[in-house]
């Protein structure tokens, strides 16, 4: 059964799989690693232009390790899940420090690198070195859960353990890189969540979900929870030159390491912050509409508050974690996505 499954998947891949992705030419561990991190929770079409810009700037692990975190996050801006960019940067430094700039060849050594779990480690070594390791990303979970009729949410350990056993047993000993790419392609192009193309699937003849009319029910969805809504006031301080004050966020947490506007809980607190913390006298600026930005676990309601600086007793620039930023002359620093949208709007108004 495993041999026949792999053979059918590979035959389909040879004719219909994706063979022209930018990280496949050339296909080496560094390029595969960067692409796999970018592809976590992000679609291929979104990733491709980011990957190409990233490779232009950081063609090898040494260039990436030597770069500043700001440079890395600037190229990551808009891709989301910024911890991935921070982990990528740190992992590059670890590789240079501990592995002489080479991507490790051992699965355990790969898994201890920042931001790399079991499935990602297996994918990198399978695709980049043709080593036999199973993978279990979202696409592969969907293919296996449907084909073998595995019910239950894959986030639960017993379900995940069963899927891992299936992934291990189905992975062939030959053409591992092609099989790994084929399984990801199968889940991304045919065995999709909604309206899968079962008639075109190379393994539909043995698919339990198709035979039992459970395709729409498998894999079992995560138990739904309503996302809480949080709110914040983003203080947009503009000086006489039209520049805005940005602060660098802590290295961990939401938008870690990125540059953002100062935030407070209320508008009154924002105005007090101007005077008491920054020593600035300000006047009200134009009103801007509220924004909503969604994270994995909550929604963030953003209230942009524009204030114009008319006088200041102390220069906010004395704090190295703050800069005056010119919206008309953007530089290379990482910006949170809603901050970038606000800055672009300010630049358009100038």
Q: Which CATH number does the domain housing residue 302 bear?
A: 3.90.79.10
pLDDT in tens, 217-272: 999 998 888 899 999 999 999 999 999 999 999 888 888 899 999 999 999 999 99
- Find the CATH number of the domain harbouring 141: 1.10.340.30
333 within domain boundaries: yes
| Residue 129 and residue 83 in one domain | yes
The whole-angstrom separation of Cα 300 and Cα 234 is 11
Both 181 and 307 in one domain: the answer is no
Range of the domain at 71: 2-195+202-211
Per DSSP, 213 falls in state T
| Same domain assignment for residues 160 and 247 | no
Shared domain for 172 and 234, answered yes or no, is no
**304 and 240 part of one domain:** yes
Is the same domain home to 132 and 280? no
C-beta of residue 75 within 8 angstroms of C-beta of residue 50: yes
For residue 175, what is the DSSP state?
A: S
Structural domain ending residue among the three candidates 211, 241, 256:
211
91-135 confidence digits (pLDDT tens): 999 999 999 999 999 999 999 999 999 999 999 999 999 999 999
Render 143-166 in DSSP notation, one character per residue.
Answer: HHHHHTT--S-TTSHHHHHHHHHH
Q: Which residue has tokens 């969907």?
A: 142
Residue 219 lies in a domain: no
Does residue 216 sit within a domain?
no
State whether 68 and 18 are in the same domain: yes
Active site residue 36: yes
Query: Could you give the number of structural domains in the chain?
Result: 2
**pLDDT interval class at 314 (50, 70, 90):** low
Q: Residue 49's CB: how many other CB atoms inside 10 A?
A: 12
Domain co-membership, 283 together with 344: yes
Same domain assignment for residues 249 and 207: no
Q: Please classify residue 283 by burial: count the beta carbons closer than 10 Å to its beta carbon, then call 0-12 exposed, 13-18 middle and 19+ buried.
A: exposed
Q: What is the pLDDT of residues 68-98, one digit of tens each?
A: 999 999 999 889 889 999 999 999 999 999 9
- Report the C-alpha gap between 303 and 263 in whole angstroms: 10
Residue 222 lies in a domain: no
Closest CA to 246 of 184, 349, 153, 323: 323
Instruction: Answer yes or no: is 7 within a domain.
Output: yes
Q: For tokens 């692409």, what's the residue? A: 35
Say how far apart CA 142 and CA 236 lie, in whole Å: 44
Residue 242 lies in a domain: yes
Question: Do residue 206 and residue 241 come from a single domain?
Answer: no
Task: Give the active site residue among 7, 36, 66, 263.
Answer: 36
The DSSP string of 79-114 is T--THHHHHHHHHHHHHHHHHTT---SSHHHHHTST
- Shared domain check, 145 and 78: yes
pLDDT at 173 over 70: yes
Question: Among the listed ranges 99-103, 144-148, 334-338, which one has the minimum average pLDDT value?
Answer: 334-338
Give the confidence band of 59 by pLDDT, cuts at 50, 70, 90.
very high
pLDDT of residue 30: 97
Of 211, 244, 261, the domain-final residue? 211
3-state secondary structure of 281: strand
- 172 and 273 in a single domain? The answer is no
Question: What is the C-alpha to C-alpha distance for residues 168 and 13, in angstroms, rounded to an integer?
Answer: 19
Q: Is residue 250 part of a domain?
A: yes
Q: Is the pLDDT of residue 315 over 80?
A: no
220 is a domain residue:
no
> Does residue 21 surpass a pLDDT of 90?
yes
């Amino acid at each position: 059964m495993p041999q026949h499954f792999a053979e059918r998947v590979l035959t389909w891949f040879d004719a219909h799989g994706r063979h022209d992705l930018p990280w496949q030419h050339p296909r080496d561990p560094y390029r595969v690693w960067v692409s796999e991190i970018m592809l976590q929770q992000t679609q291929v079409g979104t990733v491709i232009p980011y990957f190409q810009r990233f490779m232009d700037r950081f063609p090898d692990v040494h260039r990436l390790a030597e770069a500043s975190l700001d440079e890395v996050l600037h190229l990551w801006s808009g891709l989301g899940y910024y911890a991935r960019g921070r982990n990528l940067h740190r992992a590059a430094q670890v590789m240079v420090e501990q592995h002489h700039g080479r991507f490790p060849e051992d699965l355990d050594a790969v898994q201890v690198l920042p931001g790399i779990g079991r499935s990602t480690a297996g994918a990198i070594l399978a695709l980049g070195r043709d080593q036999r390791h199973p993978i279990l990303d979202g696409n592969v979970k969907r293919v296996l859960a449907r084909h073998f009729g595995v019910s239950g949410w894959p986030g639960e350990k017993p379900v995940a353990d069963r899927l891992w056993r299936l992934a291990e047993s189905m992975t062939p000993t030959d053409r591992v890189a092609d099989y790994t790419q084929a399984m990801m392609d199968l889940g991304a192009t045919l065995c999709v969540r909604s309206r899968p193309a079962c008639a075109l699937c190379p393994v539909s003849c043995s698919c339990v979900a198709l035979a039992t009319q459970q395709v729409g029910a498998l894999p079992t969805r995560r138990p739904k929870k309503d996302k809480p809504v949080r709110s914040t006031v983003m203080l947009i301080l503009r000086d006489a030159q039209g520049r805005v004050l940005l602060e660098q966020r802590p290295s961990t947490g939401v938008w870690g390491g990125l540059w953002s506007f100062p935030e407070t809980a209320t508008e009154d607190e924002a105005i007090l912050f101007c005077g008491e913390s920054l020593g600035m006298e300000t006047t009200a600026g134009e009103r801007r509409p509220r924004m909503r930005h969604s994270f994995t676990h909550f929604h963030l309601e953003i209230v942009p508050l524009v204030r114009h600086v008319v006088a200041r007793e102390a220069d906010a620039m004395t704090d190295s974690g703050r800069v005056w930023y010119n919206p008309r002359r953007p530089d290379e620093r990482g910006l949170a996505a809603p901050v970038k949208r606000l800055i672009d709007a300010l630049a358009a108004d100038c």
